[in-house]
Every structure is written in structure tokens, then in C-alpha cells.
Amino acid sequence: MHLFYAPELSAELEFTLSPEESHHAIRVLRLSSGNEIILVNGRGGWYHTKITHPDPKACTVEITKVLSDIGKPGHELRIAIAPTKQIDRYEWFLEKATEIGISEVIPLICEHSERKDVKTDRQMRIVIAAMKQSLKAFHPVIREPLAFRKFIKESTNGAKTIAHCQNGEKLWLNEIIKPNEPITILIGPEGDFSGSEITEATENGYQPITLGSSRLRTETAGVVACHTVSWLSREF
């Protein structure tokens, strides 16, 4: 099964692939007229198509069948997570979270952050590749980096949580997550959130949570949180 990305695709009967995807289909995979391929738009649209004009710069296809909400998470999960110093670890989180299922990712810039910039276009390429690899038609929204104190003041629907390593009373995710209720999870940098950030988060309605007794790396905590919410949502 060959999947190709077409973010602007909606209800057309015929469609022309981007130059990049056209080149991959015709020059790399050597597909030709009559070959069937799948187009996905990143919003759940899954399009069965047949190649009609195998141009390596502008491959045209005929749409034969349309499905919707393929690979869309059964839960609305936003994770605001501090990018790691070694960017490949953060990119690993993006890849795995996309495969598991997540609605939105916000690179969070905190007091202890060792990395304060990420390339949004590269993040998008990673989640698109992960979406296609895992045979989904949905990828998460990738936000621009945002300062911690600015993000926690945003209006947010559903449960709001913060995972940190400091002592104190914390709940497990299964004590918080509810059917059809969105959830936002904050995950800090390698040096954890500062005490003042934790205080400000709780003052803005964020409930401290635990992800287990082990001290986790930032990217591991992100994947654990994503998988836990996905697993718990199966029970609803």
C-alpha cells in the first residue's frame, strides 16, 4: 500500500500530487497509469485513487473512494512539552506520539529549557512520515514554540495536568481522564519545571500528576503520557 500526502485535498474527483510526491511515485516507486495509490490529507481523509497521468512533476490521479476519520485519535490530547537539548530525542517523541495518536503538540519553553528553538517545518516532515508509516490519515497539529507562562494562561477545554518530579500530592491519569473530555498535559525539560512554574500552573488550574515511580527522560515521559491516555480511552 503506497500512501501519499495531500494536505489540500478535500472533495475533488481528480487531483494532482505535489512535485515531491509526484517524483516519489513515478521516479522512485516507478508507478504508472492504472496503479492504485492512497492519498491522505492529515485531517482524517483517506482517498483511494488511480493514477491517470504519471507525470513525475505533476502526477494526476482519479479519486475512486473516500473514507474519513482514519487514524484520528479517539481522544483529544494536547501535550505541551519542552524540546530536549539533543533534538533527535524530541523528534523521536514526535514520531512515536503520532503513531500512537495525539491531537496537538506544543513545544514549551521553560525556565530550565536548554533548547529554546525548534524548526516547525522539520517537525511537520517527521509527523507526516510517521502518519504514513503507521497507515493513518491524521497527524497532530504542531504549534510554534511558546513560553510556559504564556501557554498556561491560554483558554483550554477539559482537564489540565502537569507532570513534574517534585514531591507533593499527585493523581494518576486514570483518576483524571473522562469520556469525551479533552486533556492537556505539561511535560518539562531535563531539569524539570521550576518551583515557581509548578506553582503558577496549579494556580491556573493544572493538576499535578504522576507517570510512575521512575524518573523519566522528557521524551520518554511524553510517550508514556500519550500511550497511557490512548490506552485508558479504549475503556470508554
Residue 131 pLDDT:
95
Q: Which residues form the domain of 28?
A: 3-67
Find the range with the poorest average confidence among 4-18, 55-69, 140-154. 4-18
Output the domain CATH number for residue 20.
2.40.240.20
Residue type (1 letter), 52: T
Are the CB atoms for 219 and 190 separated by under 8 Å?
A: no
Asked if 100 and 202 sit in the same domain, the reply is yes
Residue 202 pLDDT:
95
pLDDT at 87 over 60: yes
pTM of the model: 0.91
Residue 171 pLDDT:
95
pLDDT over 90 percentage in the chain: 84
Asked if 36 and 140 sit in the same domain, the reply is no
Residue 71 pLDDT:
87
Asked if 52 and 115 sit in the same domain, the reply is no
pLDDT band of 236, cuts 50, 70, 90: very low
Average model confidence (pLDDT) across the chain: 93
Give the residue-averaged pLDDT of 89-115.
Answer: 96
Q: 167-200, pLDDT tens digit by residue?
A: 989 999 999 998 889 999 999 999 899 999 999 9
Residue 180 pLDDT:
84
Asked if 130 and 149 sit in the same domain, the reply is yes
> Using CA atoms, how far apart are residues 44 and 68, in angstroms rounded to an integer?
5
Asked if 60 and 87 sit in the same domain, the reply is no
- Residue 214: how many other CB atoms lie within 10 Å: 9
Residue 74 pLDDT:
82
Q: 31-53, pLDDT tens digit by residue?
A: 999 999 999 999 999 999 999 99
> Quick one: which of 160, 173, 181, 158 has its CA closest to 210?
173
